[in-house]
Amino acid sequence: MRISIPVSAFVAAIVGFGGTLAIIIAAASAVGATQLETASWVTAICLAMAVETAWLSWRTRMPVITAWSTPGAALIAASSGFTMGEAVGAFVVTGVLLVATALFKPLMRLIARIPASVASGMLAGIVVTFATGAAKTIPADPWLILPLIAAFFILRLVNPAVSVLAVLMGGGLAAFLTGRVGGLPAPELSTLAWIAPEFTPAAIAGLAIPLYLVTMASQNLSGLAVLRASGYDPAPAPLIGITGLFSVLSAPFGASTTNLSAISAAICTGPDVHPDPAERWKTGPFYAFAYLIFAIFGASLVAIFAVLPQSLIVLVAGLALLGSLANALTIALQDDKDRMAATVTFAVTASGLTLFGIGSAFWGLAGGLIVLFLDRFKKA
């Protein structure tokens, strides 16, 4: 055991949690969740991640790190017209699809065949609204927002992983000291709230299926790639199946999908953690312990976010997704033969189009695949 093992695990947990919690809060707000339901959401998803990471890391003797789907949360936050019950139903369906992917190899191969350009176009269309939303916060409170933006771009030159977390903590402190926050809420322990799932065709097509595709394409496949780049050879099915199973079990308490992590995993899988790859799996239990702590105090954390200025929350969410947007746009436009299909996917998804009760992510993906089929049919 080296001190670098728990340190790496706790850094990964703090960065992953603090840097993207604002997106979970925005997602909960978009589907009309109450503060109690939002706290249950955060608590349940942290518990699921703690159990998944501890079990998978111990069982495989690899640093298998799980996370919530940040692009998935952005998709939920960008949606409209869904109730919390419908969102929970969509989370259950997404988890079932992940389990089915683990059980049926043809389904895994089918998902892998979706061109990265089109999948990335959909992801870029989802997160671009957050980036533009961050820019729109400037007129609302320029004396708070502009220094935070400057701090973010300066800090990311030194350590991109903690730049968003620093903006959140610095912005919260500045808001408190300048009287933008009336007072901090009293500490409280978390509780879980049962939310009955509602299964509607619109929520399944407009929320569950896009959430599943985003989770697979931008999270699970990337998480597997990080493990392989670090010298591990994981069997994909058990890892995806376990995260899918816990997504189903935690969904009735409000939790959205969990999946393999890429960014947090990169902090826990490299040689800086331990020179011996066989010892790095020990980051998993420490990471799980950190998320157990987050789960216990999830209600207090949600309450703190509730009293912070809305412009700060929107800014942090937008800054947290800038890296995802840049990466998605790069992949989407990289291959010139798929560029038009990716552009159509991006444009339709970013438009916020809702048709027959189904959201823009579904129509963006459908439009991009149709254009891609027509382009390849012409070449054939």
pLDDT digits (tens, 9 = 90+) for 314-371: 888 788 778 778 878 888 888 888 889 999 999 998 888 877 666 777 788 889 889 9
pTM, two decimals, is 0.78
Mean pLDDT (the chain) is: 86
Calculate the CA 80 to chain-centre distance.
18
For residue 236, CA distances in Å to 161, 220, 302 come to 26, 9, 33
| String of DSSP letters for 336-366 | GGGHHHHHHHHHHHHHT--BTTB-HHHHHHH
More confident residue, 305 or 206: 206
User: 13: buried, middle or exposed (CB in 10 Å: 19+, 13-18, 0-12)?
Assistant: buried
Task: Please write the tens of the pLDDT for every residue from 195-239.
Answer: 999 999 999 988 999 899 888 877 887 788 778 877 888 888 899
190, amino acid identity: S
Interatomic CA distance for residues 303 and 316, integer angstroms = 17
Predicted confidence at residue 1, as pLDDT, reads 65
Q: How many residues does the structure list for the chain? A: 380
Distance, in Å, from the CA atom of 343 to the CA atom of 63, rounded to the nearest integer, reads 36
Identify the pLDDT of residue 375: 83
d(CA 151, CA 133): 18
For residue 270, pLDDT over 80 is answered with no
